[in-house]
A and B are shown apart, each in its own frame.
Chain A
Amino acid sequence: MKKKLAVMALAAATLSMMAMPVYADDLVTVGYAQVGHESDWRTANTQNYQDVFSEDAGYSLDLVDCDNDNAAQLEAVRTFISKDMDYIVIAPIQSAGWDTVLQEAQDAGIPVIIADREIEASDDLYDAWVGTNTTNEGITAGNWLAEYLGDKDANILVIEGSVGASAALGRTNGFNQVAEEHDNWKILDSQSGDFTQAGGQEVMESFIKSYEGQFNVVVCQNDNEAYGAMDAMDAAGITYGVDGDVTLISFDATHDGLQYTLDGKINCDVECNPIQAEVVKGVIEKMQAGEEFEKTTLVEDQAFVAPGIESEYATTMTDEVLAGRAY
């Protein structure tokens, strides 16, 4: 019986090895464990990786869409290890719980690059980090608001992202840092809209009832939430944007988001740049050549403001800016 099992196991192992794709020798294999496709931003990020790590550029990219499932992502990384990829790139869904699998990758001798989001693991477990700093984005949004309002009072409502997501935490912290410096700013309430349009709409509907006529600033932590908030304000007859009573700040700067900024509906849209693959590729090239590389590389964020607003922190939207965007 044992023998039979052993033979079967052997056969299965051989089969699975045969099923593995055969990579051309000269292609550098990169496994990318992507978060999912929950937003336009994520889609743009995926597209960017697919464009940059093309076969023409000498790469074979294995991109796994983990659909916001933490377990699936750990599994994807383990699969990369078993396939013996040359490099592994992870955009972590959750910041904690990575120690074991990172250790496995290190034992297998595969360099790991953490992309986009931050991770709670000892930094000798991975080789490099490339991403944006969401706290910076929050600070940028706060600085812009301070510049825009001048000495005016701010009564602020915040629609947060998913509870515990690092983007939500960072944007909240960054913005709060700036808010604390201003005595005449008051954050009336802060609730989660789960980074979705439906969530943003529902939270805004409730805010309007709780703080009717008391708020003049709404901060949405991504564009989808901002669309929902706009629908809710439209329904209640509250005006927003450049010509409105409420100043609307959003994050992500997706194509649709910037279109609304260009139309003057969103005052300021802060970008967490999804075009990160070039920087990741740069790090990999240096690793490949055995050169020194930066342990952490920050992809710069930027902000866009509606036409008619000039700011030292942000670019004023024009048709050309929108047309020139990669996504």
Chain B
Amino acid sequence: MGNFKKLAQKRLFLPVFSMILVMLINVVYDIATGSAPLSFFMISIKNGVLYGRLIDILNRGSEIAILAIGMTLVVSASGGTDISVGSVMSLYAGVCCMILAGYGNVNVQEYAHPLLVGIGAGLLVTLICGVFNGFLVAYMNIQPMVATLILWSAGRAVGLLLCNSQIVYVRVPSFQKLGAYCGIIPTPIIVAAVCVAIASIVLRYTALGTYIQSVGINKKASRIAGFNSAKIILMCYALCGLCAGLAGMVATSRIYSADTNNIGLNMELDAILSVALGGNSLGGGKFSLAGSIIGAYTIQAITTTLYALGVSSAQAPVFKAIVVIIIVVIQAEPAKAFFKKLTKKSGKEAARA
């Protein structure tokens, strides 16, 4: 009991607890329907690649996880959200596929330009988008949501223009690689893992994380203490743009096409939600990157669970909303205080007995 209490006080306890709770729904369902209780967690190798629901969650959750990295930094430093990330993902798709297919082509079997040029240009454009957002927020002092609203609406539109409003297919195996498999592991998982690893290493072994938090807690005080607050905020937005580009890269390679209408659609909301589900305050300041990443995979776990339960597509959003509400409420301060009181009381009663 004492150990559990210690564990429960850890910052990441509730996010992890929520994720496990979501997955437990499947166990209950499996037992109720008479199938193997742990079938949801089974991982095997089939047709030469990893196979299982957990793999699906990791694989499909890659885009949200990558977005969550950038979103966490932005939220922490500026106390606002970048709502343009979904649209910027779609812009990446437009730029990359337009370059690889050649302007005006809709369906190509070979590259018009080398693969790295396409990916590089796409990522560069998304980085520029991030810098643009950051400039508006940090130097023009525009509210983050308003500043990023510009690219939220323009990013997708520019992507569509680049592709002549069509779905541009690049049917080259090496292009699909990033969205398919690398050996037995789905490549998106590797991309997400590398992104998370780099971000954690940088944040842990440099003072950057501390800088960002201090700017988020008090921008003015940080400036007086000698930080270039504006520069740090700009950098966070730039990184967020780059993360959107990387997420777009995965999403585009998955379907080897620039479906600019649908890539990243509403993903900004998932990214913001994953930051919140990770126990981070959307008001800025202290943050936990691990929390956000867990939040991201929790969202995907909900989606995958709904598919696994066979919830009809018309009802799925309602179920998703209910699960999200429960998770958010568990993590809310008043709820935490209530649980604390409850455990204290039961502890006292136990002592009396």
Contact = CB atoms under 8 A, between A and B. Distances in A.
Interface of A: 36-40, 43, 65, 67-68, 160, 163-164, 189-192, 194, 196-199, 201-203, 205-206, 209-210, 224, 227-228, 235-237, 256
A194 B262 contact: yes
B312 interface: yes
Contacts of B274: none
Name the residue among B166, B255, B262, B313 with the largest chain A CB count within 10 angstroms: B313
Nearest to A192: B313
B160 A206 contact: no
Nearest to A233: B47
A68 B254 CA distance: 23
Interface residues of B, number: 33
Contacts of B312: 190-191
15 contacts: A37-B261, A67-B261, A160-B313, A163-B313, A190-B313, A191-B307, A191-B310, A191-B313, A201-B255, A203-B307, A206-B53, A206-B307, A210-B307, A237-B46, A256-B169
Interface string B176-207: 00001100000000000000000000000000
B8 interface: no
Interface string B300-311: 000010011010
Interface in B40-61: 46-49, 51-53, 56, 60
A191 B303 CA distance: 12
Given A202-B60, A256-B169, A197 B308 contact: no
Contact of B310 (A199, A210, A235, A237): A210
Contacts of A191: 307, 310, 312-313
Contacts of B262: 38, 194, 196, 198-199
Contacts of B53: 206, 209
A206 B305 CA distance: 9
B166 A236 contact: no
A40 B53 CA distance: 32
B237 to A, nearest CB: 27
A38 B251 CA distance: 17
Interface string B236-267: 00000000000000010011010101110000
